Structure 1
Amino acid sequence: METIPTPHFPEQGRQGTLWTIAVIDEKQLTRSCLTHSLISAAPAFAALGYASLAEWQQNGGEHVPCIALICVTGQKATEAIVELDLDYVARQDGDVRVIVVSDVEDPRLVVAALGKGARGYIGMSSSLDVALAAIRLVAAGGVFVPASGLLPSKSRIGLGGEESQDEGLSRQAAFTPKQLAVIQRLRQGESNKIIAYKLNMEECTVKVHIRNIMQKIRARNRTEIAYMTNNLFDGDTQ
């Protein structure tokens, strides 16, 4: 386990405890590089490196709340992380939020990971700035959905086949202004109660909008709404 001391920082979790980033990667070089890069670029977080989930469980239990970056390469290894390890992490106690980091940016794996409880999916083609933005969003309670991993399956939204950028943006016409507002807030990981407060509507009305949105795009849950509407908001940062 690698520990890099960091100065006191203001960002805190739910219990007033400082956020720790656990970088879990069996490859020592990439693990060390990522850990050091995060500390250098984001002194508002502590960072610890672990070679495996087992090592993290044995040595990182006291570091809560925690954002766990599970780093993996290759299709089979990424599928194994999604199918097996995310279930394992979900059973752990404490406030742990998982972000998968992989060189495989298959939209199906992105959706599967989010459906298993991951709070984000970062492709290794992303920059360090994108990774930091994802970590900060997850720390704030949001869900990070990578645009690069979703581009090949925009047609899944059910409103047509391949489209140009203008055609993708025109899909906003399929939703009412209030539905679009709900989608934007939902994509930030906000609860129905928070959405209702910010949009000045009843919580039951928010539930109706979400149900209608799900029916319109054939989504099964909130995660799929965020995934399937990624192309509706040009320049939307998460």
Structure 2
Amino acid sequence: MSGIMYERIPDADHAVYNRHAAARRAAFHIASTEPRPQRTLAIIDGRAIAREQLSRGLISNGLGLRMATYGSVEDIEAYEATAFSVILVCVDDSRFMDNSIVLEIGALVRRFPKVPVIVQAKLCGFQQILSVLQQGAHGYLPGNAGISVCIEAISMALAGGVFVAAKNLHDIQSILGTNHHQSKRLEMFTRREREVIEVLRQGKANKTIAYALRLAPNTVKVHVRNILKKVRATNRAEAIYKINAMFDEIA
């Protein structure tokens, strides 16, 4: 393997370290005072000094993985999937602006489907985090995350979990929970009723709806009557108001 490789060398200076941190890492079976050359962390960062500092910091703090550092995603694409145990990608925030990094993360996940990918970036808006997680990443770290947080994220990814900083997790859970609840509300309508609703929201008459959807006028009347019952509306205007509010929330 090309790239710069690091391994932890046990010595007296590292024989004693924070016992609480050690216990937490031991629970994931990856951090120890002994090197484990069979498991490799790939660090991808275009900043040479930053990636070398991070790799040395992880080693000195007891992460029992071999390190391999690279300047770009392209640098590791030629390797076999078995070459890495976990991949940490440090992202330039400007790349979120054109969505290129999101697509690149998705391609990296597909290239190494059994290797958890973690992303680190200063930009920690929920949209950026969600877009990366939706591509299959196993974690998202803030740019100022300390070594201990990095180790925790790596540990969780190797254990099959997904790591998100606590300050972002609540927002994401709220968004996901809200979207799930709202999608459930839409399930009260049949597929045909949702098609009728799309035209009904435009204030169209039943004949126009029937023409647009190629349905019989009497069929449209039945659908509209069922829709009014489901939203508990007494007339079309009230139904449209309630349906618009429901759809606007989901959008």
Equivalent residue for 2:133, pick from 110, 114, 129: 114
Equivalent residue for 1:88, pick from 107, 116, 134: 107
Q: Which amino acid aligns with 1:55?
A: D
Distance across 2 between alignment mates of 1:77 and 1:153: 18
Q: CA, structure 1 residues 217+96, in 2 after alignment: closer, same or farther (shift >3 Å)?
A: same
1:53 counterpart = 2:66: no
1:148 counterpart = 2:150: no
Mark the runs of 5 or more structure 2 residues left unpaired by the alignment: 11-25, 185-251
- Cα deviation per residue 1:78-116 (whole Å; 9 max; x = unaligned)? 74211x212211231463110001011011111111110
CA contact (8 A) 1:19 1:46 kept: yes
1:19 counterpart = 2:39: yes
Partner of 2:122: 103
Taking structure 2 as the reference length, the TM-score comes to 0.54
Matched pairs, number: 160
Higher helix share: 2
CA contact (8 A) 2:7 2:37 kept: no
Q: Which amino acid aligns with 2:134?
A: G
Q: Which has the larger radius of gyration?
A: 2
Equivalent residue for 1:44, pick from 64, 70, 76: 64
CA contact (8 A) 2:46 2:71 kept: yes
Q: CA, structure 1 residues 146+75, in 2 after alignment: closer, same or farther (shift >3 Å)?
A: farther
- Cα deviation per residue 1:192-235 (whole Å; 9 max; x = unaligned)? xxxxxxxxxxxxxxxxxxxxxx844759xxxxxxxxxxxxxxxx
1:2 counterpart = 2:4: yes
CA contact (8 A) 1:24 1:50 kept: yes
CA contact (8 A) 1:122 1:146 kept: yes
Fraction of identical pairs, as percent: 25
Partner of 2:54: 34
- Cα deviation per residue 1:160-196 (whole Å; 9 max; x = unaligned)? xxxxxxxxxxxxxxxxxxxxxxxxxxxxxxxxxxxxx
Taking structure 1 as the reference length, the TM-score comes to 0.57
Deviation at 1:25, TM superposition (A): 0.4
